[in-house]
Structure 1
């Protein structure tokens, strides 16, 4: 289910305008990262792009395909990744446009998941049994 070396290299070449791409195996699939943020996943050499409320309108064409999902407790859990249409692989500029929209969604998701800098600074760590608490 992970991306083949050839498909990964194809994506790396096509999406080079975005920045530094890396690939990491995750959950039997391959995560596609740009500068440390996951913008897509690949399963069976099929590209799925990150979707959120900010880019669903752009990706309406992809809504006709089943989203990337996994099964947990007998239920299908949809992930926030929609299948990129095959035609994009013949239209490199549009593929990059879709990837940029997916990357923007990935940044929005990452911003929601990480606490605000002020919250991080205000957090206190509990001291271990052999340590004094530092404030």
Structure 2
């Protein structure tokens, strides 16, 4: 089996994120959490691509983990770093997955796979990159003197 070849469009594609694995199927995305993440209150989830209203993506950087959130009607909007409600946080939403800097290529492949699955299902949706996390990154760089 050649792992360098791209997977067929109809085959499931799995992507390892931070304490979670996302599997992109032709009609849905399934999120599986590690036992440690489940101890922290996060749970596995499944999202039908037809229910996705927006794709909120933040690229991982050296300072801040990135994430991808498949926003549905059940969400109140884009996720936040901290909130009193677990479902409003990146790390607590079961329709989101985080990626560290070391998995930035996996993040790019995951975004492309979800976009491709949405396109094939007839509901194209470009990711919306939120900029608010990059403000924090710039502030951290300024503290470091760069």
TM value normalised by structure 2: 0.28
Tell me which structure has the larger Cα radius of gyration. Answer: 1
Structure with more of its chain in helix, by fraction: 1
Larger RCO of the pair (alpha carbons < 8 Å, separation 6+): 2
TM value normalised by structure 1: 0.29
